[in-house]
């Protein structure tokens, strides 16, 4: 008999809030289906009635975690149409904000993954170490989320000379904490048993599903928009793309861990570069947006964000198409979850980082067809946590 | 920033005034249930942030729980679109009485930036009665805590 | 392969099918193609050249629909945009799902937002609209701006 386990439906990104239905035969997941639209807010349509400057505030709120990546990609698209030369200082500031976002997003993911396998200590640790990063955001931009730093032609706020030592201090304090956390996580035998060989995506799967970001990089495909199509200051900095070959949950975690160090490296280099550039030169003047179309890309913590903007010369776009990375990454569940047991499927779902814990905010415990209560998201997490307990005992 | 303007409670106003039933119900640890509508995720993270070591609401006995049937407080954030409107109503129906409904964030209070969208079904208070409004985009964890504490201290 | 080479090769190979080529900016190229040839060119780009499908953007104007398929060459950073025009009366185009799975969701989305039909799509059921708007409303298809 096939049992349907609903996971969802609330999921926070723009087009991907969804209800996963895991079709199970006994313990094994045999198929997976989606139901989306819970979070459809009509952002693309709203943007057609906004001016180019106003759209920054809308795209920032597509996703609270990626609230730099979307404005970043959008700015790239519009600057491509208007052919703007962004001042170097603004480019570096953009990179700093983008990388700080990657830091906080990856730490957030580590915490949630820990929660899913029943290691709530990891959850608390990772989120504790994430707080200093949010403090940095508050120092630089004035808000913990939704930073409003971007504008066409540059950034809104400067990083002053007084702020730089404070930023360095917090970053330096973060490094040993990250070492500690990752050492503890990556050496844990239970975590090895839970994550290795689970939810494998082969390189060919990734190519078929056109997956991006850490999901693709963990399967040996070195796609990183920051390297492939350098934007802002990424072309002027020294850093490397992290890849792994295995494609399982462990590889995805490892890629994210190592990316945190690369991000810290990028921020340090950018800070050093900023110190040499004159203060205050943070924005180019853009008078109007000509007719044309632009494709802007940015590497969000989850992968490539793509914005397509078509302008007819007026002060608002004719069409604004947005593609968030989870839009393609979520589809890979069909490969990574099928054939896994239910408790591992939770983890495979979490490994893609489809924003965070749909499962935690399980609202509907009823199957849409039979109106029968089957199992809700918390049961699913509990199931996964029980499995960890069993493995722990075995050791 | 004014983080805790409130409208009069709509859930059993008479009982509250005369018997103190509601005060009695919310005297001990509050259990929270979190419903995220069509939101941008920011308020969701800030709510979770309240649970983590820096803010740590668990020291007050507040727990985020998985089923609304055990909850004293229903936290709602995000604009509500047509599709999740029915789900919100269903959750509200399942909740035990009395329940405090807290609308968190600009979208929860008014619809915010997404009120112009073609799928917008109304801010939270158009769908279910709301007791506490915590505005902000997103409200800081301190503001969320302050909002709930102010509600509890209200005489 | 360098960007210029790829563009020249495409022009040489699909001379008759590609109507116009605009080299927009550095690393961006826009090609207007006829809709019958979409599958052939997409197959060449995806299978032979190893380009990655990013997304497709549909647009509506008074007399026609327009779809732009975005492909990314991750080795050089080039984005190849294939532009297709569809008549308003009969918006039909061949589905790319048989070629790559990634086109599944976006074609379903375009179908319910614009009413464009994708031939040979295995599963053209609504993705977002269920419970949000009526099945045949096509909210993005009208070329009217929503009231501000």
| Pick from A80, A210, A293: CB nearest C53 | A210
Is some CB atom of chain B closer than 8 A to the CB atom of C148?
yes
CB contact under 8 A, A46 and B54: no
DSSP A279: T
CB contact under 8 A, C132 and B81: yes
The 10s digit of each residue's pLDDT in A162-205 is 899 999 999 999 999 999 988 888 888 888 888 888 888 899 98
Is the predicted pLDDT of residue A46 greater than 80, yes or no?
yes
pLDDT for residue A268: 94
Per-residue H/E/C for C2-66: CHHHHHHHHHHHCCCCEEEEEECCCCEEEEEECHHHHHHHHHHHHHHCCCEEEEEEEEECCCEEE
CA distance A379 to A367: 15
Helices A120-141 and B42-51 cross at an angle (nearest 10°) of 120
| Pick from A208, A294, A306: CB nearest C55 | A306
CA distance C31 to C82: 5
Is the predicted pLDDT of residue A15 greater than 50, yes or no?
no
End-to-end CA distance of chain B: 23
Q: Which chains touch B (3 or more CB pairs under 8 A)?
A: A, C
- To probe the interface with C, which of B38, B80, B82 has the most C CB atoms within 10 Å? B82
Cβ atoms of residues A237 and A270 within 8 Å: yes
Residue B5 maps to a domain: no
Q: How far is CA A363 from CA B37, C126, C129, in A?
A: 10, 22, 20
| Pick from B35, B52, B120: CB nearest A124 | B52
pLDDT for residue A243: 92
Which residues of chain A make contact with B123, given a CB cutoff of 8 A? none
Q: Compute the mean pLDDT over every residue in chain B, rounded to the nearest whole number.
A: 80
Which residues have CB under 8 Å from B112's CB, separation 6+?
A: A61, B79, B105, B106, B137
Residue B43 maps to a domain: yes
CATH class held by domain A43-327:
mainly alpha
Report, as an integer, the average pLDDT of A107-120. 83
- Chain C: residue nearest B82 by CA? C132
Residue B15 maps to a domain: no
Q: Please calculate the CA angle B32-B33-B34 and round it to the nearest 5 degrees.
A: 120
pLDDT for residue B84: 79
The 10s digit of each residue's pLDDT in A317-360 is 988 888 888 778 877 888 887 888 777 777 777 776 655 322 22
Phi-psi region of C94 (alpha: psi -120 to 50; beta: other; left: phi over 0): beta
Helices A377-394 and A88-116 cross at an angle (nearest 10°) of 70
CB contact under 8 A, A17 and B119: no
Give the gap in angstroms from C-alpha C132 to the nearest C-alpha of chain B: 5
Which residues of chain B make contact with C130, given a CB cutoff of 8 A? 83
Residue C17 maps to a domain: yes
- pLDDT bracket for residue A19 (50, 70, 90): low
Domain span holding position C41: 3-90
Is some CB atom of chain A closer than 8 A to the CB atom of C57?
yes
- Chain B: residue nearest C137 by CA? B118
Is some CB atom of chain A closer than 8 A to the CB atom of B113?
yes
CA distance A263 to A257: 10
Number of domains in chain B: 1
Bond preceding residue A147 cis, omega within 30 of 0: no
Which residues have CB under 8 Å from B59's CB, separation 6+?
A: none
Number of domains in chain C: 1
Dihedrals φ, ψ of C97, to 5°?
-60, -40
Is some CB atom of chain C closer than 8 A to the CB atom of B83?
yes
pLDDT for residue B10: 55
SS3 at position A193: helix
DSSP assignment of A204-261 equals HHHHHHT--THHHHTTT----HHHHS--TTGGGS-------SS-SHHHHHHHHHHHHH
Per-residue H/E/C for B44-105: HHHHHHHHCCCCCHHHHCCEECCCHHHCCEEEEECEEEHHHHHHHHHHHHHCCCCCEEEEEH
SS3 at position A354: coil
The 10s digit of each residue's pLDDT in A276-326 is 999 888 999 988 889 988 899 999 888 888 999 999 888 889 888 888 887
Give the gap in angstroms from C-alpha A97 to the nearest C-alpha of chain B: 17
Mean pLDDT by 10 residues, chain C (148 residues): 76 71 75 87 89 90 88 88 89 90 86 88 78 74 53
Is the predicted pLDDT of residue B49 greater than 50, yes or no?
yes
pLDDT for residue A186: 83
Is some CB atom of chain A closer than 8 A to the CB atom of C104?
yes
Helices A342-351 and A249-276 cross at an angle (nearest 10°) of 20
| Pick from A295, A306, A319: CB nearest C28 | A295
DSSP assignment of A328-351 equals HHGGGHHHHTTTSBHHHHHHHHHH
CA distance A197 to A31: 19
Q: Name the residue with tokens 């035969």.
A: A25
Residue B114 maps to a domain: yes
CATH for C12: 3.30.460.80
CA distance C117 to C67: 12
Residues 100-139 of C with CB under 8 A from B: 130-133, 139
**Nearest residue to C88 via CA among C120, C61, C119:** C61
For chain A, the structural domain boundaries read: 2-39+340-394, 43-327
Cβ atoms of residues B125 and B151 within 8 Å: no
Cα of B38 vs its chain's centroid, Å? 15
CATH for B92: 3.40.50.12280
Q: Which helix (H) or strand (E) holds B112?
A: none
CB contact under 8 A, C130 and B83: yes
| Predicted TM-score (pTM) above 0.90 | no
């Amino acid at each position: 008999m096939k049992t349907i386990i609903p996971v969802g439906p609330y999921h926070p990104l723009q087009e991907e809030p969804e209800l996963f239905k895991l079709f199970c035969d006994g313990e094994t997941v045999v198929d997976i289906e989606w139901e989306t639209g819970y979070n459809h807010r009509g952002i693309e349509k709203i943007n057609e009635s906004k001016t180019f400057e106003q759209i920054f505030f809308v795209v920032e709120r597509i996703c609270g975690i990626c609230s730099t990546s979307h404005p970043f990609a959008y700015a790239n698209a519009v600057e491509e149409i208007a052919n703007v030369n962004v001042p170097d200082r603004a480019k570096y500031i953009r990179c700093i904000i983008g990388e700080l976002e990657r830091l906080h997003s990856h730490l957030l993911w580590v915490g949630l993954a820990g929660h899913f396998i029943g290691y709530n200590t990891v959850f608390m640790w990772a989120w504790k170490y994430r707080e200093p990063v949010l403090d940095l955001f508050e120092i630089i931009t004035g808000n913990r989320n939704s930073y409003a730093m971007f504008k066409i032609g540059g950034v809104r706020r400067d990083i002053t000379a007084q702020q730089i030592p404070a930023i360095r201090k917090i970053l330096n304090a973060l490094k040993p904490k990250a070492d500690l956390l990752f050492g503890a996580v990556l050496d844990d035998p239970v975590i090895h048993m839970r994550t290795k060989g689970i939810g494998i995506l082969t390189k060919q799967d990734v190519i078929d599903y056109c997956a991006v970001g850490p999901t693709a990089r963990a399967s040996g495909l070195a796609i990183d928009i920051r390297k492939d199509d350098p934007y802002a200051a990424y072309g002027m900095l020294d850093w490397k793309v992290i890849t792994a070959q295995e494609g399982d949950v462990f590889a995805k975690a490892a890629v994210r861990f190592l990316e945190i160090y690369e991000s810290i490296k990028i921020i340090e280099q950018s800070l050093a570069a900023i110190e040499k550039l004159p203060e205050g030169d943070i924005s180019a003047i853009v008078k109007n947006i000509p007719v044309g179309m632009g494709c802007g890309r940015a590497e969000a913590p989850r992968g490539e964000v793509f914005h397509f903007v078509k302008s007819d010369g007026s002060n608002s776009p004719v069409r604004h198409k947005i593609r968030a990375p989870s839009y393609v990454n979520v589809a890979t569940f069909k490969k990574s979850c099928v054939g896994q047991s239910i408790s591992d499927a939770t983890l495979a779902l979490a490994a893609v980082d489809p924003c965070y814990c749909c499962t935690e905010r399980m609202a509907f415990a009823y199957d849409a067809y039979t109106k029968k209560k089957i199992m809700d998201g918390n049961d699913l997490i509990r199931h996964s946590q029980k499995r960890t307990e069993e493995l722990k005992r075995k050791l | 920033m004014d983080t805790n303007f409130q409208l009069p409670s709509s859930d059993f106003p008479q009982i509250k005034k005369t018997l103190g039933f509601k005060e009695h119900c919310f005297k001990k640890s509050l259990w929270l249930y979190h419903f995220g509508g069509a939101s941008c995720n920011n308020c969701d993270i800030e709510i979770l942030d309240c649970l983590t070591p820096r803010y740590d609401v668990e020291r007050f006995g507040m727990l985020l729980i998985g089923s609304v049937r055990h909850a004293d407080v229903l936290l709602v954030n995000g604009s509500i679109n047509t599709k999740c409107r029915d789900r919100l109503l269903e959750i509200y129906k399942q909740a035990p009485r009395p329940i405090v409904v807290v609308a968190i964030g600009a979208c929860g209070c008014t619809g915010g930036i997404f009120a112009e969208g073609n799928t917008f079904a109304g801010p939270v208070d158009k769908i279910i009665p709301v007791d506490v409004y915590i505005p902000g985009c997103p409200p800081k964890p301190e503001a969320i805590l302050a909002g709930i504490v102010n509600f509890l201290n209200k005489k | 392969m360098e960007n210029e080479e790829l563009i020249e090769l495409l022009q040489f190979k699909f001379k008759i099918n590609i109507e116009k080529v605009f080299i927009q900016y550095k690393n961006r190229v826009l090609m207007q193609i006829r809709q019958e040839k979409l599958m052939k060119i997409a197959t060449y780009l995806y299978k032979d050249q190893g380009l990655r499908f990013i997304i497709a953007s549909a647009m509506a104007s008074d007399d026609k629909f327009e779809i732009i398929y975005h492909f990314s060459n991750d080795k050089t950073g080039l984005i190849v945009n294939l532009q297709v025009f569809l008549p308003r009366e009969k918006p039909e185009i061949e589905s790319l799902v048989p070629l790559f799975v990634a086109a599944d969701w976006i074609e379903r989305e375009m179908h319910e937002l614009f009413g464009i039909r994708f031939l040979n799509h295995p599963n053209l059921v609504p993705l977002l609209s269920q419970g949000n708007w009526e099945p045949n409303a096509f909210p993005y298809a009208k070329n009217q701006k929503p009231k501000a």
